[in-house]
Amino acid sequence: MRTYLDFEKPMAELERKLEEMKALASENNVDFSGAISLLENNITDLRKEIFENLTRWQRVQLSRHPDRPYTLDYIERICDEFIELHGDRQVRDDPAIIGGLANIGGQSVMLIGQQKGRNTKQRQHRNFGMPNPEGYRKALRLMKLAEKFNIPIVTLIDTPGAFPGMEAEERGQGEAIARNLKEMFMLKVPVICIVIGEGASGGALGIAIGDRVLMLENTWYSVISPENCSTILWRSWDFKEQAADAMKITAKDMVSNKLVDGIVSEPLGGAHLDHDWMAEELKRVILENVKELSKISVDKRIDQRIDKFSAMGVVVE
């Protein structure tokens, strides 16, 4: 059963009627092609009307859609081969971050991504996509391995934030993220970072220092979620829509503020409607950027990476 968000509800009834009409035509061997075509066009027109006028909060909702593709969904569809590598060699393996050697269209990459879960058991196992320090240390270990063998790095970002538990802080959550930031600036191989869902705070930034930082069309990237921002400013979650507007957290906002390098298009209605199409588009973008970045010398690529992030947040009075 497909899950509909509140603003998608107008389409739900039309799509239900479409399925009923198709089933009736099939069961009774009756030609309803004209009516079916008309209804499909009506659904497409309505979807365009809704999705061309999304608010920032609605895009936040889309980024969290329960049917949205996660890192493992992309790995399954875009990788010809994938060998998962485990552990940080200090504490344990963190299932909230997946990483390993991948072959994408003949191109070897080190693919690292944050992973949520589809059901309660998976969400608990993946800690709702919130990495512990060992997750970030595992990611850095794999990045250093990729650098050693001159393999480009691709990271897929989708997290509500780094795990804030006491045990995570005791094991050095802040230090682990900070070290990743420092080390990723100096990596000698091309680094491509793509926000595929939620990009929240340092939890996202810990694997998001790259030569190319991209966002899928219906994702968000910010130091704090709209709900938590609303809680701090208004002492209530009720103002999350206003908070989302004030923070300007969508892909278009990020590009206009020169905080990310580009937007990856999603199918009309969102990535959750067509996983295969979205995976093919992501594969194309990855290969295109790896090819482009590989032509740049190591020193120039590092200098450009540092200059790009150093220019962020500058205020001119």
Q: What are the tens digits of pLDDT across the range 134-164?
A: 999 999 999 999 999 999 999 999 999 999 9
Q: What is the pLDDT of residues 187-242, one digit of tens each?
A: 999 999 999 999 998 999 999 999 999 999 999 999 999 999 999 999 999 999 99
**Residue closest to 109 by CA, chosen among 72, 146, 158:** 146
**Per-residue confidence (pLDDT) for residue 43, from 0 to 100:** 84
- What average pLDDT is seen over the chain? 93
Mean pLDDT of 19-27: 79
C-alpha distances in angstroms, 36 versus 18, 23, 42? 7, 11, 10
In CATH terms, the superfamily for domain 60-311 is 2-enoyl-CoA Hydratase; Chain A, domain 1 (3.90.226.10)
Residue 35 scores a pLDDT above 90: no
DSSP-derived secondary structure letter, 250: B
| Coil/strand/helix, residue 159 | strand
Q: Is the pLDDT of residue 8 over 90?
A: no
Q: What is the pLDDT of residues 182-196, one digit of tens each?
A: 999 999 999 999 999
Stretch 42-49: mean pLDDT: 87
- Contacts for 187 with CB less than 8 Å, ≥ 6 apart: 143, 147, 153, 302
Domain borders along the chain are: 6-53, 60-311
pLDDT of residue 58: 95
Q: pLDDT at residue 263 above 90?
A: yes
Average pLDDT over residues 7-36: 81
- The reported pTM is 0.92
Instruction: Look at 36 and 72; give whichever has higher pLDDT.
Output: 72
Count of CB atoms situated within 10 Å of the CB of 29: 6
The answer, yes or no, to whether residue 316 has pLDDT greater than 80, is no
Say which residue, 246 or 12, is predicted with more confidence: 246
Task: Name the band, by pLDDT with cuts 50, 70 and 90, for residue 113.
Answer: very high
CB environment 271-309: b (16+ within 10 A), e (fewer)? bbbbbeebbebbbebbbebbeebeeeeeeebbeebeebe
pLDDT at 25 over 90: no
